[in-house]
A and B are shown apart, each in its own frame.
Chain A
Amino acid sequence: MKLKFTRGRIALVFLLLAYAGSAWWLLTRGGGMLDDGRTRISIAHWQIEYGPPDGLAAVIKRYHELRPDIEVEQVLVPGRIYRQWLRTNLVGGTGADIIEYGSFLPGMRDVPARYFEPITGLMNEPNPYNRGTPLEGVPWRNTFHDGLFNEQLYTPEIGQLYSVTLCQVTMRLFCNERLLREIVGDDPSFRMPTTLEEFRRLAAKTQEFSQRTGRTVYTLAGAKLNAEWLLEFMLSATLMNVSMELDRDAQLALYLRDFQMAYLRGRWNYHRPDVQAALGVIRELTAMMRPGFIQLERDDAVREFMNGHALFVATGTWDASSLIRLADFPVGIHRFPQPDAADPLVGSFHAGRAADGSKLTGMAFYLNKQSPHKAAAIDFLRYLTSVEAGQLFMEHSGWISSIRETKVPPPLAPAKGVLDGLSYGGGYMKTGAESARVFTQNLYRLVGPQGGVEQFVETIEREMPGAQRADLQLEVRNLVEALRPQDTGLVARRMLGATDQERAELLVTSQTLAESQLYEGLVVLGETASQP
């Protein structure tokens, strides 16, 4: 029988061939199965600077020895495109099995609840990869330095844990130790400054050294972001007395909205003598940086430090690996100096030492709800956060591990978080995008030879009420957006019956407490509506 090759039949044959080909591809290659039958999973993150990729590579290499049946691929995504990459891949169902995410990523608030899977039950079980270590038998969540405090604080659903963390991060002063020796010479009485007054003396010596030798050397490397980190900390540390006064709720901590509401209700402002004295400290510190630092980027500050033109650079310990590896001089890591009760400028307002780093952990990884290989992904997450892998990660990345019982290498020890200071949080420089803009745009009025506290305060007090109001309005809007989907989640869990009752109850409580904050914000906005 002779077949007739009509256009319709040809199309049908092509369609069937395409279907068969696709099916063959999916059945043999799809779903993360390799040709040799191994399971392939991927872990995606944006930490592409020196350190973390090496640390993860070392962990993955060892994991392959333990689990040759699972292939782990590290996906490095540049930070500037991470949000778009994440959203596109999650919506398309092509996201990695394990994904780094941070609650601070703008416009991504809906992501965890939609695309990530809670792992609360597993967190209450011991991590099997900790057998034979002091953490054997310890529930997984308690094997982290901070018991995953931040992950609980920013969880999309109170009571549920969605993520595990990999490292500890603190802000520190990185020092060019060779330059320091040149500046202080063989002075046997010299010790690294711990108080602001001692730091002033070292800054004076540095300036004198620069003038004497004709070399351009500043005490602090200058760039907008590095300056902001340092100034923000110094304002919070200096104004601990104000923070304690503002702690109306007796929670021993203030959230940004607390600063916003307190400012709008007239409980603090930049006219206060203690705030003006703290701004005086900011003037002093910025005078230790090169002129025009506000226009400069982070890389400029690092370059200034690397070229020996700055004694210190203030940055996070995430830069430790890069600085230590790239510098041709020994790099020391030191804690920020702090004002004390004897300080000539702000001592009379001193209320105690401020926390300059905590045990809080970060670089959080989440399990993709759509992962076809959840069991393998969970197994890898467990290994990744075991004592052995924590040690490997730390040694190869230069980042401090989030896992207890890991041994911090001596050069990194000063970067480790220590709980030895008051921790009320800070919102004196910014509580949101608008207040940050007002403060930063007017900073030039405060710093430099032409600047001054009075003219800065005069200007900022004209613009700040509107800015704080805008930031609080945004906070309220965000809260409403976060609360709305919870109604759906709540009714669904209640309809599911006994299995979901516990989660329903937790959701009810968290929603009610969050609504309490929402209405407080609305009351303050209403009370202060007539303000300029």
Chain B
Amino acid sequence: MAVVPRVFPPLIIPLLLLVTLARADETPDAVWRLLAANLPGEAGVALKSTPPTEPRARALAEAVVLTARQPLTDERLLEAERRFEALAEVPDEVGAAALYLTGRLHQLHFSTPDYTEAARYYRRLAERQPASPWAQLGLVKLALLTLHVLPGPATPADRIAAAEVLLPRVTVPPLRRDLLIVLGRARLFHEVGMEQARFDLLAADAIGGLTGLAEADVLLQIGELSFRAGDDGRAEEYFRRFLKGNDADPRVYTVEQRLKVIAARKGGR
């Protein structure tokens, strides 16, 4: 019997310590961390033992878990929508996030998307809390829907015009930049206002903040569109900027060939 006290304290103490540490980590932040790591099942478990502080943030987390936890069904998403709508009644940041996410449910998550309904939520949010980051992001999503799939505009040019109207309302610089890129892409896709596409991308580049491939793509697009438009000075500027940070990109050779053509054109003048 004397064996018991010698064996168990080294076992029990670390176990107790582990349990204590685990509980200490069960804060709302820990739940958000699990969700950020794409672990909604684990987040759902952690939520059950989270102290009931910040009830609105907790309710938001519970609804978010519903939208991500497998198996995902429309019934579960309807339940999430009901909870988001309840949270959205209060016009604070949690309410703004909830309203935005309701739009997202209709735009992307339900098995059959309802773009008109999604657009309605984004418009409502932008009217109610125009400065909220969620409202600003909702306007970018609204522009995407308008440019491509929302019923209403008759022609691609009408779609672009309707989306352009949203641009002045997007005041958060990175979101405004993203919207400019989306507008530029849409012009190229619909083949409407190719020159304006270049100006959209230039305006996006002026805002800055892009990194990695997204930046490389925009630099190349401006360079190539300028090259095609005969604006060799600007083409060279952007091609050289691209080369500076992307020496292993497979497109380097093509850019170097473009620069040779520009140099030859210069020499010929």
Contacts and interface: CB of A to CB of B under 8 A. Distances in A.
Contacts of B20: none
Nearest to B36: A492
A114 B148 contact: no
A374 interface: no
A144 B248 CA distance: 9
A378 to B, nearest CB: 18
Interface in B152-195: 174-175, 177-178, 181-182, 185-186, 188-189, 191
A236 B148 CA distance: 31
Contacts of A24: 11
Most chain B CB within 10 A, of A23, A145, A253, A519, is at A519
Contacts of A506: 211
Contact of A484 (B28, B35, B109, B141): B109
7 contacts: A248-B188, A360-B248, A487-B109, A494-B97, A512-B144, A513-B178, A520-B189
Given A249-B185, A506-B211, A519 B148 contact: yes
Nearest to B133: A494
A492 B33 contact: yes
Nearest to B8: A20
B60 A495 contact: yes
A160 B105 CA distance: 26
A23 B109 CA distance: 44
A114 B38 CA distance: 5
Given A20-B7, A520-B148, A496 B211 contact: no
A295 interface: no
Interface residues of B, number: 70
Contacts, number: 173
A129 to B, nearest CB: 21
B254 A252 contact: yes
Interface in A459-489: 480, 483-485, 487-489
Nearest to B189: A520
Interface string A408-433: 00000000000111111000000000
B64 A146 contact: no
A516 B109 contact: no
A142 B29 CA distance: 34
Interface in B204-261: 209-214, 217, 220-221, 224-225, 228, 246-255, 257
A248 B250 contact: no
Interface of A: 20, 23-24, 27, 110, 113-114, 144-147, 149, 152-153, 158-159, 247-253, 352, 355, 358-360, 369, 419-424, 480, 483-485, 487-489, 491-496, 500, 505-506, 508-510, 512-513, 515-516, 519-520, 522-523, 526
B140 interface: yes
B212 A419 contact: no
Nearest to A253: B251
Interface of B: 7-8, 10-11, 14-15, 28-29, 32-33, 35-40, 57, 60-61, 64, 67-68, 97, 101, 104, 108-109, 133, 137, 140-141, 144-145, 147-149, 174-175, 177-178, 181-182, 185-186, 188-189, 191, 209-214, 217, 220-221, 224-225, 228, 246-255, 257
Given A27-B10, A423-B254, 5 more contacts: A488-B68, A491-B101, A496-B29, A505-B209, A509-B178
A24 B3 CA distance: 14
A158 B101 CA distance: 21
A513 B214 contact: yes
A509 B250 contact: no
Contacts of A252: 220, 224, 251, 254-255
The 8 A-B residue pairs whose C-beta atoms are closest, nearest first, are A519-B148, A492-B35, A146-B248, A250-B224, A492-B36, A423-B250, A113-B38, A488-B68
Main secondary structure, interface of A, reads: helix
A419 B250 contact: yes
Contact of B253 (A146, A419, A505, A523): A419
Most chain B CB within 10 A, of A147, A491, A493, A494, is at A491
Contact of B212 (A145, A158, A422, A487): A158
Contacts of B217: 251
B99 to A, nearest CB: 12
Contacts of A488: 35, 38, 40, 64, 67-68
A20 B145 CA distance: 61
B37 A420 contact: no
A251 B14 contact: no
B178 A508 contact: yes
A152 B212 contact: yes
Contact of A487 (B108, B211, B228): B108
A499 to B, nearest CB: 9
A76 B215 CA distance: 38
B213 A250 contact: no
Contacts of A251: 217, 220-221, 224
Contacts of B104: 487
A300 to B, nearest CB: 32
A495 B57 contact: yes
Contacts of A516: 144, 181-182, 185-186
A251 B224 CA distance: 7
B247 A147 contact: yes
A39 B119 CA distance: 55
Contacts of A520: 148, 185, 189
A130 to B, nearest CB: 18
Given A487-B67, A516-B185, A423 B212 contact: no
